[in-house]
Amino acid sequence: MVQYASRKMEDWLANELNSLKDRVTKLEAEEAREAKEGTIRPGTKRGRKPKN
């Protein structure tokens, strides 16, 4: 029973890790595309004005 639970947890963790990796990949691709298009001004985070 314990081995089954740990296997189930292992599968769940692998699933979570893969979904996070997918999200990071999508965000990085979006960021690269926006930087290429010039919609993000350099020195700002995702096109927002810096807080001063």
Helix H, strand E, coil C: the string for the chain is CHHHHHHHHHHHHHHHHHHHHHHHHHHHHHHHHHHHHCCCCCCCCCCCCCCC
Among residues 43, 47, 11, 18, which one has the least CA distance to residue 31? 47
Taking every pair of Cα atoms in the chain, the longest distance, rounded to a whole number of angstroms, is 57
> What's the pLDDT tens digit per position in 4-50?
778 889 999 999 999 999 999 999 998 888 778 766 656 555 555 55
pLDDT on residue 31: 85
Domain ranges of the chain: 1-35
CA-CA distance, 37 to 40, in Å (whole number)? 8
pTM: 0.56
pLDDT on residue 30: 87
